[in-house]
Chain A
Amino acid sequence: MDTADAIMTSDEKIEIESIKGRSLLGDAWQRLKKEKKAVLCLGIVLFYALIALLSWWGVIAADWGKEVGASYSPPSSEHWLGTDIFGRSVLQKVIHGTQIAMSVGLISSAIAIPIGVFFGAVAGYFGGWIDELVVWFYTTFSSVPQIMLLMSIAFILGKGITTVYIALGLTSWVGLARLIRGEVMKHKDRDYVQAAGSLGAGHGRKLFKHILPNVSHIVIIFTSLQFQVAIKSEVILSYLGLGVSGQPSWGTMIDDAKLELARDVWWQLAGATIAMFVVVLAFNILGDSLRDALDPKLKGKD
C-alpha cells in the first residue's frame, strides 16, 4: 500500500480524471451519479415524464371521462383508487393529472427561462444604465406579492390551462434573472472572456458562446425547483377557480375533496396528494443534489 495510487480513494481518482478535461455538465453528471438518492429521484421524475407522455399520446388513461362504476365506490381490486362522483376511475384521473402537472412545470419553465436569462445576462454583462433599467424592471415585478400577481394575471386571462401556463411563467422569472445577473457579472471580467475578446469576439459571441455555457447550471437548478413550485401553484389556482377546466388535474381533484371528506370519501384526495407528493419530493431532493453537484461552493450549506 505504498504507491500513491493505492492511497488515493476512488473519490480522488474521479477528481483527477475530471481535471483531465470534461465539461462543466459532464463533471457534474459524474458527481451526481455518485449520489444514490439523486439518481433515484431522477428515475422517479423520468417515470412521471413517461406516464405523462403516454397519457398525452392517448396510450393510457385516454378514457378518464368514461363512467366505469357507481358514484363514489371505494378502492377495490377493480378500481384501485375508487371512483369519483360521476363514477369515473380516480386512477385514470390521477394519470391524466400527471400529464397536466408535468406540462405545467415544463411550459411555465419554458416561458420563464428565456425571459430570466435574457434580462439577467444583459444586465450583468453590459452594466451601467442597462443594468439599472433591468434591475428597476424586475424590482417592480417582484414588489407585487407573487400570489396577488399570479391571481391578477390568471383572473384577467380567464380560466383554463393556457392561463395557468402563462400566469406561472410570467410570475417566476425574477429569481432566475437575479441569479444569472450576479453570475454573469462575476464571469465577464475573467481571463477566458478577455482572451476571447482579444481574439476579436464581439459582445454577442462573448456572452452566448463563452459566458452563458458557464452559468447554465443555474438554469438547470431553477428548472428542477420551478417544476415543484408550478405543480403546487396549480392546486392553489384550481381552488381559486382560476385553474384547469374541462379535464382533471391534481388541483381540481384536491379541490373536489373539500366536499368529499365530510362524506368519508378520501380516495380522490389521497390519490392526487400521494401522486403529487412523490414527484414534488423528487424534484426538491433533485434540486438540492443538483445544486451540490453543479455549484460545489455551496455544498453542505443546504
Chain B
Amino acid sequence: MSSTWNYIFRRVLYLIPVLLGVCFLIFFLFNVVAGDPTGILLGKHATASQMAELREQLGLNKPLIAQYFDVVKSAFTFDFGRSWATKQQISQMIAQGAIPSLSVTLPGFFLATVVSILLATIVAYFRGKGIDLFIRILTIAMMSISSLVYIMVFQWLFAFELGWFEISGFEYSFPEVMPYITLPIIIWIVLSLGPDTRFYRTLILDEMYQDYVRTARAKGVSEKKILLKHVLRNAMIPIITYTVVQLPFLLLGSILLESFFSIPGLGNMVINALNASDFPVLKAITVLSAVAYIVFTLVQDILYTVVDPRVKLK
C-alpha cells in the first residue's frame, strides 16, 4: 500500500513541471510569437500613441517574465482577467458557457458510450463473422466523412427540410431546451459511434486472448458466459479509465456543433474569440482545458493502479 501512496504522491508532484510547461507553451504562442495585437484591435487608422496607450492598458508593456507569471497564476487561481472584446470577467463567461456545452455533450457522451460498448460487445462475440465485418466496414466508412458534413446535412434535413427540430438557439429551462439540443446530441452520438466502437472492440478482443479465457473455455464455460461474466468485467477497467480522460473535452463542448446550432457554450465562445482576436479568452480556454486534461489524466492513472493491482508502478 505504501508504494501506491508513494506513486500517487510522485504523480501529483509531476503535475507541476507539466503545468509550467503548458503555461510556457501558451505564453510562447500568444505573448511571444503572436506579436502586437493592438494593431488588429484598433483597426487600420490607429495612431502610435493610441497603440501605446492600449498596450499599457492590456499589460503588454510588462517584461516577458512577468507576463509568463501571469499565465501561470491564472492556471492556479482561474482568474483570467477580462475579455478584450466584451470587457466581461472571463471566469464568469466560462461559468455561463459551461451549462449549454454540458447539456449537449453529457447526454451525448453517455448515450454514445453505452451504444458503442453494446455494439463492440456484439461485434467481439461474432468476431470474424459477417456481422463483425459489416460493422467494421460501416464504422470505418462513417469515420471517412468529415464531421462538418454530418452536421450540415443533418441540420439541413431534420431541422430545415423536415422541421422536426429547431434550427438554432437555446433555452435555459429543462423541457423547453429539448427541441434545441436533441439534434446536436444525435449528431454527437453519430460522430462518436465509429471511433468508439472500434476502440472498445479492440479492448474487448485484447481480453479475449488472455489465459483466463482459455482456462474458462477448457472448463466448459459457454462462450456467451465467458464474454458477459469474464471478459466484459475485465474490459471495464480500460473502458472506464478511457472514458475518464474524455470528460474534460465535454466541458469544451463541440466547437462545430455549438457554432452551427448557435448554442451559447464554450465552443461558441472560442469561435467568437477567434473572430475578435480576443487573446485573453483564447488563452483562458486553452489553459483551462489543459489543466482539466492534466488533472483527469492523473485521476485515470491513479484509478488504473488502484483498480488493477497488476499495473506496475514506476
Contacts and interface: CB of A to CB of B under 8 A. Distances in A.
Interface in A145-167: 145, 147-149, 151-153, 155-156
Q: Is the interface of B mostly helix, strand, loop or mixed?
A: helix
Contacts of A285: 140
Given A152-B30, A156-B33, A236-B256, A301 B18 contact: no
Contacts of B147: 232, 236
B17 to A, nearest CB: 6
Identify which of A143, A145, A255, A276 gathers the most chain B CB atoms within 10 Å of its CB: A143
A251 B136 CA distance: 27
A144 B147 CA distance: 21
Given A143-B18, A148-B289, A301 B148 contact: no
A190 B252 CA distance: 45
Contacts, number: 120
B205 interface: yes
B252 A269 contact: no
B72 interface: no
Contact of A136 (B18, B145, B255): B18
A77 to B, nearest CB: 27
A29 interface: no
A262 B289 contact: no
A228 interface: yes
Interface of B: 17-18, 21-22, 24-26, 29-30, 33-34, 136, 140-141, 143-149, 152-153, 156, 160, 198, 201-202, 205-206, 209, 248-249, 252, 255-256, 260, 270-271, 274-275, 282, 285-286, 289-290, 293-294, 297
A285 B209 CA distance: 24
A302 B201 contact: yes
Contact of B205 (A139, A262, A302): A302
A284 B149 CA distance: 18
Top 7 A-B residue pairs of the complex, sorted by shortest distance between their CB atoms: A140-B21, A281-B144, A280-B144, A261-B156, A235-B146, A156-B34, A302-B202
22 contacts: A136-B21, A140-B21, A141-B25, A145-B248, A148-B252, A148-B285, A148-B289, A148-B290, A151-B274, A152-B286, A156-B30, A235-B148, A236-B256, A254-B148, A261-B160, A262-B156, A273-B146, A280-B143, A280-B144, A281-B141, A284-B144, A302-B198
A301 B285 contact: no
Nearest to B128: A300
Contacts of B297: 143
A273 B156 contact: no
B146 A276 contact: yes
Contacts of B201: 302
Contacts of A235: 146, 148
Interface in A275-298: 276-277, 280-281, 284-285, 288
